[in-house]
Amino acid sequence: MPSGVNGTERGRQGADGGRYLDGGRAGFPFALATLVLGISFGVLARSLGWGTLAPIVFSVVAFSGSAQFAVASVLGSGGGAIPAFIAAVLLNARFGPMGVAVAPYLKGGPFRRALEGQAVVDASWALASRGGGRFDREFMIGATAPQGVAWIVGTAIGALGGDFIGDPERLGLDVIFPAFFLVLLAEELRGGRRAIAVALIAAALALVLVPFAPPGVPVIAACAAALLGLRRS
C-alpha cells in the first residue's frame, strides 16, 4: 500500500497555477455533463412552477445536483419543506467524509478552509485523489470551477428556455454521470486488490439498501466498506 500523508507533497507556490489549469482541463468533460444536468434541473423546476428565479438562485447558493433534484422530487410530489430538507441532507452527507479526506491539503484559517471545502464535488474530489489518501488541492479547485459555472448556466438555460430542449433522457444523457463515475472508479481500482474488494462490497451494500433506505443513504452506508482499510495489509 502507498505511504501516508506526506508534508512535502503540498504544492509549492510556483507550480500551483499550472495545477489549477490542469484541474480545469480534467474537469471540463464533467462540466459538459453538468451543463446537461443543469438544463434538466432547470426544465424540471420550471415544470413544477418554480418560475425562473428560484431554480437559478438555488443552483447558485446550493451548487449541489443530487440535493437539488431531491428537493424538486419531494416538493414536486407534494412533500413539505422538512422531508425535502432531510432528503437533501442525506444525499449530501457523503461530502462529510470527503471533506475530512481533503482537509489536510487545504490552506489557511478556519474560514478559508470552510470556503475551500465548498469545492468538494464528487468528480473533482475523485479526480484530485492521488492514491494513498492524498489529494491535490489546486487540481480539485480547478476541476470544480468549470462545473460550478456549467451548473448555474445550465439551470438558467433550462429554466428560461426549457421547452425548446425537450427531454434529456431521450438522448440518453442520464447515463453520462454513472459512465463518468465508472471511468473514475476504473482509475481507483488500479490501486490494487484491496480497492477492488472495497468497491465490490460498497456496490453490494448500496444495491441491497436501495429498496429499504431513503435515497442517499445507500451511498453513505457503502462508504463503510472503506473501513476495510483498518485491517493491516
The full DSSP string for 15-61 is HHHHHHHHHHHHHHHHHHHHHHHHHHHHHHHHHTT-TTHHHHHHHHH
Crossing angle between the packed helical segments 65-76 and 53-62, to the nearest 10 degrees = 140
| In the complex, minimum distance from the CB of residue 3 to other proteins, in angstroms, rounded to a whole number | 9
User: Which residues contact residue 60 at a Cβ distance below 8 angstroms, ignoring those fewer than 6 apart?
Assistant: 152
Coil vs helix vs strand at 3: coil
- Provide φ and ψ at 135, rounded to 5°: -135, 150
Nearer to other proteins, 14 or 80 (CB): 80
Nearer to other proteins, 15 or 208 (CB): 208
Task: List 136's β-bridge partners, or say none.
Answer: none
Nearer to other proteins, 160 or 189 (CB): 189
The C-alpha cell that represents 198 in the structure block: 472495497
Nearer to other proteins, 149 or 205 (CB): 205
| In the complex, minimum distance from the CB of residue 165 to other proteins, in angstroms, rounded to a whole number | 15
| In the complex, minimum distance from the CB of residue 109 to other proteins, in angstroms, rounded to a whole number | 9
Nearer to other proteins, 14 or 211 (CB): 211
User: 12: which DSSP letter?
Assistant: P
| In the complex, minimum distance from the CB of residue 221 to other proteins, in angstroms, rounded to a whole number | 8
- Report yes or no: 122 and 220 within 8 Å, Cβ to Cβ: no
In the chain, what is the straight-line distance between the N-terminal and C-terminal CA atoms, in Å? 7
Nearer to other proteins, 72 or 157 (CB): 72
User: Which residues contact residue 216 at a Cβ distance below 8 angstroms, ignoring those fewer than 6 apart?
Assistant: 66, 70, 87, 90, 91, 92, 93, 94
| In the complex, minimum distance from the CB of residue 170 to other proteins, in angstroms, rounded to a whole number | 7
| In the complex, minimum distance from the CB of residue 142 to other proteins, in angstroms, rounded to a whole number | 17
